[in-house]
Amino acid sequence: MAKSPKRPGPELWSEGLMWVEAAEMQCARYERLVRENEQAREDAHRRRDCAERPWIRGLGDPPILVPTVALGWQQQAELSFLLVAIQHVQTAEASLPKEHRPKTVLDEDRILYLLRDLSEHREDAEGRARRELLESEHAAMLQKIHEMLAMRRGGESELEALRVKLEAYPPMLFELPIPDDEEVWLAGIPLTRIRVWLIDARWCFRRALAEVGVVAPEPLASTVTDDDTYDWPSLRLRYRAWELEWQGEEKLSEDEKRAQEIMDEMDPIVDGLLAEYFNEQEAKRDDEREPGQ
């Protein structure tokens, strides 16, 4: 039986840009759920402490957040969608010419692939992805981290509770939270590393497309012909499902001000990642220059 022909590279690279966008959106949504769940768990622990020591109830704001089952499900769903988007970016990336592939390397690309496979085939109790994940060095590292965290939280009793959970469902090892004020972790992989790789991948897809004469669309350009040529109204809202961008200087309503505040909160994160990426690329160019040039 003849193999079906492969799709042209430019088609895959154009779709790669779409999946980079989807992956960045999922990173933002996953991070939000992780942060909300972390805060809710902290409130739950504080309620327990306040029940045992009522005199500390007046310290700080009341711990009202509850780490609900629904929040846990939503975080797990956002993670599954993120893993799918990452896999599509990796597939498109593999079709790039070597000279256009991202310099940022995801050392855990195999782990991410297996996690995606596991999330799509949870009904398979003894599947290949599950076996390979649990036998990996990454799993051994995660086991040590979570055992250490359990001991810090509650000593031997907490450690035993962790082991009971993992014995009942071993893949839970890759879903357990890692508390960190500075970073969000995806099964032991820093989300910042994934975001920097996505920034690199976007530039690589755009450069590869430009080399074959294809101009990649701007993500916040209008899809309606000539829409961006009109000068009125000067205030326009250009947005992704996870990020807003205002255009114009007109007076904003209260809702518009709140949207601007949300966007401003995200700007430093995006700017920091871009600065890190460009500094890394500049350092690489300096290393590649001949001495004396």
Residue 239 lies inside a defined structural domain of this protein: no
Mean pLDDT of 159-166: 87
- Which band of pLDDT confidence, cut at 50, 70 and 90, is reported for residue 227? very high
What pLDDT, on a 0 to 100 scale, did the predictor assign at position 178? Answer: 82
Cβ atoms < 10 Å from Cβ of 199: 19
Residue 3 lies inside a defined structural domain of this protein: no
> What predicted TM-score, i.e. pTM, was given to this entire model?
0.75
Task: Inform me whether the pLDDT recorded for 274 exceeds 60.
Answer: no
What pLDDT, on a 0 to 100 scale, did the predictor assign at position 89? Answer: 95
Asked if 208 contacts 162 with a C-beta cutoff of 8 angstroms, the reply is no
What pLDDT, on a 0 to 100 scale, did the predictor assign at position 263? Answer: 53
- The HSE-up count of residue 80 (CA atoms within 13 Å, CB side) is 12
Mean pLDDT for all residues in the chain? 82
What pLDDT, on a 0 to 100 scale, did the predictor assign at position 93? Answer: 92
Residue 289 lies inside a defined structural domain of this protein: no
- Which band of pLDDT confidence, cut at 50, 70 and 90, is reported for residue 291? low
Report the domain count for the chain.
1
Residue 265 lies inside a defined structural domain of this protein: no
The two three-digit tokens of residue 264, written as one number: 């401003």
pLDDT per residue as tens digits for the range 6-30:
777 889 999 999 999 999 999 999 9
Domain residues for 122?
9-209
What pLDDT, on a 0 to 100 scale, did the predictor assign at position 2? Answer: 56
Residue 178 lies inside a defined structural domain of this protein: yes
Entry field: residues in the chain: 293
Residue 169 lies inside a defined structural domain of this protein: yes
Mean pLDDT of 132-139: 88
What is the C-alpha separation between 25 and 39, in angstroms, rounded?
Answer: 21
Residue 219 lies inside a defined structural domain of this protein: no
What is the C-alpha separation between 205 and 155, in angstroms, rounded?
Answer: 49
Q: Which stretches does DSSP call E strand in the chain? A: 185-186, 189-190, 236-239, 244-247
Residue 288 lies inside a defined structural domain of this protein: no
- Which string of DSSP letters, residue by residue, matches 31-56? HHHHHHHHHHHHHHHHHHHHHH-GGG
